Chain A
Amino acid sequence: MKIVIENVIKKFIDAKKNEVTALNDINFSINEEEFVVLVGPSGCGKSTLLNIVGGLLSPTSGDVYFDGIEQDPTLGIVFQENALFPWRTVFQNVVYGLEERGASKKEQKEIGNHYLDMVGLADFRDAYPKQLSGGMKQRAGIARALAVEPDLLLMDEPFSALDAQTRTLMQEELLTIWNRTRLSTLYVTHNIQEAVYLADRVIVLSRHPGQIKQIIHIDLPKTKRNSEEHIQQFNRYSEEIWELIRHDAQKALKE
């Protein structure tokens, strides 16, 4: 199975009635058990692309499809703003997707508790999102997405609203979880270190119009990437990506 993004173009009409090309001819695919990270300066169309892949926005032209799959694909999604349902407890949030798929109460309980354990929220299963810290909310959001055991996991800057320390911890946790579940993942970030830390492949986007500038394979083991041993290679990847983005990021700053 793989997910194919083929000739995707997205145009918006902006406030001054001008046509703006947010995405220009995007082509790539996500393989089974592959962690793909989209990285680029703010406003380059990362969220737009993720929304199109998630079926939450229509492309102006082009297609997104799952290749080699029998049933309707299952999706899991994690947003920066966590998007937990405030009226549901942590547990009820986590089993939402299962509930919508008609899983039995027993199944919901088993799977829900399993993923709550995995993200370390077992003690908070009956709390409302409002009672959680930012990091805990994101963990709950991740558990909700994992619980449906999706064919594709989508994550839009899940950690960028967190403080730096929490973010580092969450990245480590995510990698641990990912190594256990090995879900095909499309992950969006503007943080280069995060991209190199998590990705099998980094897709670098440029802006105006948003298009693929380069695709970089990260040839590092999927654990302890920032250890002594790999730090040089890690930094080389980071610098390479930064060089690709730098110019665009500077322009973004001036707007």
Chain B
Amino acid sequence: MEKSIEQTSQKTNRKVIKNRVAYLDKQVPFYTPFVGILGLLLLWELIAQLGFVSPLFLPAPSVIITTGWEMLTNGEIISNLSASLYRILMGYALGSVFGILVGLILGFFRTADAIGTPIVYSIYPIPKIALLPLFILWLGIGELSKVTIIALGVFFPVVINTFSGVKNVDPLLVKAAVTFGSSRFNVIRKVILPGALPMIFAGLKLAAGTSLLLLVSAEMIAAQEGLGSMVLHYGNLMIISKLMVGVLILSLLGLTFNKVLKWLEGKLIPWQ
């Protein structure tokens, strides 16, 4: 009996069922991401070396590297980078600390929400760089006006994300905490803050890009020193290789910024 079933199934055509969504799980080798970047750089080098475009407009990557080394050894990069770092770190720190605090308060206290949230949302859409002339008039052309503009640009995405993070904390967790004896302050500290942390980090990451953009714009408008003014300066002089060095450093700065935030996120949100 068994045999006959086997035989008939062999005689008829077999249709083996295969996983038709296997492509969803497809793994790529670890070096794949580098291939694209390296390929692009090589192509760029080739085009520049073969003289397809004037080196005046597009210097080869190798030229940019050697120029960068020169600028590093003569101290030009260090002085501009440290000026920029000071501004962005100060501005970012101020903006995010205030952003988180205000976001927590607006999210937790109903009265503060009713008063503050309309204010936040009416200022939020203003392109912050438009306020730079005003801040220069109020605060002078020194560091303070630039730090303030960056802080302001960081403040808003952080406030808004913190606020919605607080609103998204499961009310059941608050109920549990209160039942186990938590005071209001401890509810904020031990439930609301950690519960909102993932959203807060989303805001901090968003703000990192904004802060870099505002840094460069502010420095192009009103600074003697800094990566933004350096880039603008060499642009005006048409020294493109040095301009490119500035751009490269800015992109490395952005990259580092993101890496640090990712690292910090892993440290502070180990439960995810």
- Interface residues, chain A, with chain B CB atoms under 8 Å away: 51, 54-56, 74-77, 79, 81, 83, 85-88, 96-97, 100-101, 128-130, 144, 148, 154
- B180 and A85 contact, CB distance less than 8 A: no
Q: Which residue of B lies closest to A131 (CB)?
A: B271
- B181 and A101 contact, CB distance less than 8 A: yes
B179: chain A residues at CB < 8 Å are: 54-56, 75-77, 154
Stretch of B11-19, B125-133, B167-175, B199-207 lying at the A interface: B167-175
B164: chain A residues at CB < 8 Å are: none
What are 6 A-B pairs at a CB distance below 8 A? A75-B180, A76-B179, A77-B179, A86-B271, A148-B180, A154-B179
Q: For the complex, give the distance between the alpha carbons of A83 and B171 in Å.
A: 9
Q: For the complex, give the distance between the alpha carbons of A79 and B191 in Å.
A: 17
| Minimum C-beta distance from A90 to chain B (A) | 11
Partner of B177, one of A54, A96, A148: A96
| Minimum C-beta distance from B199 to chain A (A) | 13
Q: Which residue of B lies closest to A144 (CB)?
A: B180
B186: chain A residues at CB < 8 Å are: 100
Partner of A56, one of B175, B181, B269, B270: B175
Q: Which residue of B lies closest to A81 (CB)?
A: B172
| Minimum C-beta distance from B195 to chain A (A) | 8
B209: chain A residues at CB < 8 Å are: none
Partner of B271, one of A74, A76, A81, A87: A87
B182 interface hit (Cβ, 8 Å)? yes
- B194 and A74 contact, CB distance less than 8 A: no
Q: Which residue of A lies closest to B178 (CB)?
A: A56
Q: Which residue of B lies closest to A75 (CB)?
A: B179
- A130 and B271 contact, CB distance less than 8 A: yes
Task: Please give me the 4 A-B residue pairs with the lowest Cβ-Cβ distance, nearest first.
Answer: A97-B180, A100-B181, A87-B194, A83-B176
A83: chain B residues at CB < 8 Å are: 170, 172-173, 175-176
| Minimum C-beta distance from B104 to chain A (A) | 16
Q: For the complex, give the distance between the alpha carbons of A129 and B269 in Å.
A: 14
List residues 189-239 of chain B with CB under 8 A from any CB of chain A.
190-191, 194-195, 197
Q: Which residue of A lies closest to B182 (CB)?
A: A100
Q: For the complex, give the distance between the alpha carbons of A56 and B178 in Å.
A: 8
B197: chain A residues at CB < 8 Å are: 87
- B181 and A77 contact, CB distance less than 8 A: no
Q: Which residue of A lies closest to B181 (CB)?
A: A100
- B176 and A74 contact, CB distance less than 8 A: no
Q: For the complex, give the distance between the alpha carbons of A54 and B174 in Å.
A: 13
Q: Which of B175, B176, B272 has the most CB of A within 10 A?
A: B176
- B180 and A96 contact, CB distance less than 8 A: yes
Q: For the complex, give the distance between the alpha carbons of A77 and B194 in Å.
A: 21
Q: For the complex, give the distance between the alpha carbons of A128 and B272 in Å.
A: 9
A83-B170, A87-B194 in contact; A77/B176 too (CB < 8 A)? yes
B269: chain A residues at CB < 8 Å are: 87
Q: Which residue of A lies closest to B268 (CB)?
A: A87
B177: chain A residues at CB < 8 Å are: 85, 96, 100
| Minimum C-beta distance from A51 to chain B (A) | 8
| Minimum C-beta distance from A17 to chain B (A) | 22
- B180 and A76 contact, CB distance less than 8 A: yes
Q: For the complex, give the distance between the alpha carbons of A86 and B169 in Å.
A: 11
Q: Which residue of A lies closest to B176 (CB)?
A: A83
A97-B180, A100-B186 in contact; A128/B175 too (CB < 8 A)? no
A87-B194, A87-B271, A100-B186 in contact; A74/B181 too (CB < 8 A)? yes
| Minimum C-beta distance from B166 to chain A (A) | 15
Q: For the complex, give the distance between the alpha carbons of A84 and B186 in Å.
A: 16
A154: chain B residues at CB < 8 Å are: 179
List residues 131-181 of chain B with CB under 8 A from any CB of chain A.
170, 172-173, 175-181
A96-B180, A100-B180, A100-B182 in contact; A85/B175 too (CB < 8 A)? no
B178: chain A residues at CB < 8 Å are: 55-56
Q: Which residue of A lies closest to B172 (CB)?
A: A83
Q: Which residue of B lies closest to A72 (CB)?
A: B181
Q: For the complex, give the distance between the alpha carbons of A85 and B173 in Å.
A: 7
Q: Which residue of A lies closest to B194 (CB)?
A: A87
B176: chain A residues at CB < 8 Å are: 77, 79, 83, 85
